Amino acid sequence: DTGVSQNPRHKITKRGQNVTFRCDPISEHNRLYWYRQTLGQGPEFLTYFQNEAQLEKSRLLSDRFSAERPKGSFSTLEIQRTEQGDSAMYLCASSLAPGDEKLFFGSGTQLSVL
Amino acid sequence: AQSVAQPEDQVNVAEGNPLTVKCTYSVSGNPYLFWYVQYPNRGLQFLLKYITGDNLVKGSYGFEAEFNKSQTSFHLKKPSALVSDSALYFCAVNGGFKTIFGAGTRLFVKA
């Protein structure tokens, strides 16, 4: 069990640029989640996958955000035309499903949009 | 829709005293309830969960939580606080699909 891995750890970009983050879940975990967390706040749900199927996407997520999980393994989260309000920690988590929703979190990707 | 409320932004307690961090939830059906902890500059870590069974659930680092269905609460407790318990604590609920987190409660334990 090597844990949930996220890359990069930090990303600094200019407003208007596109960014992509990667998450490698624990290998046997079927569910993969993306959350966004700002300083001192709780993780905000963005989207989740069961295997390769994206089952739900938050209504708070604009069309600039897209996530994929090809072949039910790693996942990518892309933000197009970044805005300063996108600056946050982006967290990935995985879990076995169904029946055990204990989430294992990665260390996150800190995005700063200048 | 499911939701979680943590009514206290911050809880202060002296080392050695008991602590309680409050959480109430709203979900249709039987809830899966969780507590997670976030230490400074570290990722979220699982503390404990309630799925079914005994209302008192024991978890990591001496923490426990009491599930109260009639009050829709799941308060986190510890009999004797340590300075090292100082961190950000999150209550979370899963109604069978996604996991939703509360806004968090910052716990300060004074020596």
Contact by Cβ (8 Å): B2, B58? no
Residues of A in contact with B34 (CB under 8 A): 101-103
Q: How confident is the model at residue A99, as a pLDDT?
A: 58
Cα radius of gyration (chain A): 13
Please list the residues that pair with B77 across neighbouring strands.
B20, B64
| CA A34 – CA A92 distance, rounded (Å) | 5
Q: Tell which of B101, B107, B108 to mutate to test the A interface (max A CBs under 10 Å).
A: B101
Residues of A in contact with B32 (CB under 8 A): 101
Helix (H), strand (E) at residue A99: none
Q: Which residues of A50-65 are buried (b: 16+ CB within 10 A; e: fewer)?
A: beeeeeeebeebeeeb
Q: How confident is the model at residue A32, as a pLDDT?
A: 93
Helix (H), strand (E) at residue A38: none
Please list the residues that pair with A68 across neighbouring strands.
A76
Q: How confident is the model at residue A100, as a pLDDT?
A: 62
Residue B15 has a CB neighbour count (10 Å cut-off) of: 14
Cβ within 8 Å of residue A47, ≥6 positions away: A33, A34, A54, A56, A57, A58, A61, A67
pLDDT above 90 (res B28): no
Question: In chain A, which stretches have pLDDT less than 70?
Answer: 1, 98-100
Count how many pairs of residues, chain A against chain B, have C-beta atoms within 8 Å: 52
- Residue B106 has, within 13 A of its CA and on its CB side, a CA count of 8
| CA A17 – CA A107 distance, rounded (Å) | 23
Which chain B residues in 30-49 lie under 8 Å from chain A, judged by CB atoms?
A: 32, 34, 36, 42-46, 49
- Between strands B32-38 and B56-58, the pairing is unpaired
At B31-83, the pLDDT tens digits run 899 999 998 878 899 999 998 888 999 999 999 999 999 999 999 999 999 99
